[in-house]
Amino acid sequence: DVKVTQSSRYLVKRTGEKVFLECVQDMDHENMFWYRQDPGLGLRLIYFSYDVKMKEKGDIPEGYSVSREKKERFSLILESASTNQTSMYLCASKSDSYEQYFGPGTRLTVT
Amino acid sequence: QQQVKQSPQSLIVQKGGISIINCAYENTAFDYFPWYQQFPGKGPALLIAIRPDVSEKKEGRFTISFNKSAKQFSLHIMDSQPGDSATYFCAARGAYLGQNFVFGPGTRLSVLP
């Protein structure tokens, strides 16, 4: 069964902290994605990766970075968390076929 | 051109009724149109998808209708059930986007018992 897991379901951080969100997939997929989800805005792509050690900016990369050292793991990093980064963060993975699989999400609150 | 518009923002339907959610796009390079279902506290899950070479696809109570000339596609949920209450997202993908999708803003469906 397809599985994408995210390290935390809920996270509360203070402004200025460095935040790591981890995502692991067990499907040997080449492609992995980080989205943020906000009410009325749908899913917006932050970063994506087509292969190990490669990354591409999505639509809203500002304030974020990513790391992909292993094929199954894709990390999202908030270098200095700000309150406007309070959101639901979703990781997804897909093979080169069309279907995309999402993790359960991490609800991040920055105070 | 990359945008996918979705309506309505929210929808309330009685049990047994038909739920209809509409999406529209501009870019004719899109070639795959999935619908995702998301329950509270969960990630989105693929519900049903269509390619533009067919006008309709049905899976159980869920049907996608696709109008290529109007650049519109819609999700119909027949005999809606309270368990269908969720947020629904349409999306689109095109070869020019690589492996990426563009998503509509979502529709929150509530099915009343």
A60 touches chain B (CB under 8 A): no
The answer on pLDDT for B29 being more than 90 is: no
The predicted pLDDT at position B65 comes to: 96
The answer on pLDDT for B4 being more than 60 is: yes
The predicted pLDDT at position A111 comes to: 96
pLDDT interval class at B96 (50, 70, 90): low
* B79: closest CA of chain A, how far (Å): 26
The predicted pLDDT at position A67 comes to: 96
Q: What is the mean pLDDT of residues B3-30?
A: 94
Chain B residues whose beta carbon lies within 8 Å of the beta carbon of residue A104: 41-43
User: Do B1 and B96 meet the contact criterion of CB atoms below 8 Å apart?
Assistant: no
CB neighbour list of residue A15: distance below 8 Å, 6 or more residues apart: A81, A82, A83, A110, A111
Chunk chain A into consecutive blocks of 10 residues (it has 111) and report each block's average pLDDT, rounded to whole numbers. Answer: 87 97 94 92 91 91 96 96 97 84 95 96
The answer on pLDDT for B17 being more than 80 is: yes
Residues B46-61: b if buried by 16+ CB within 10 A, e if exposed: ebbbbebeeeebeeee
Q: In the Cβ-directed half-sphere of B45, how many Cα atoms lie within 13 Å?
A: 12
The answer on pLDDT for B1 being more than 70 is: no
Q: How far apart are CA A28 and CA B48, in angstroms?
A: 23
The answer on pLDDT for B99 being more than 80 is: no
Chain B residues whose beta carbon lies within 8 Å of the beta carbon of residue A58: 100
Which residue matches tokens 């049905």?
B58
pLDDT interval class at B71 (50, 70, 90): very high
Percent residues over pLDDT 70 in chain B: 94
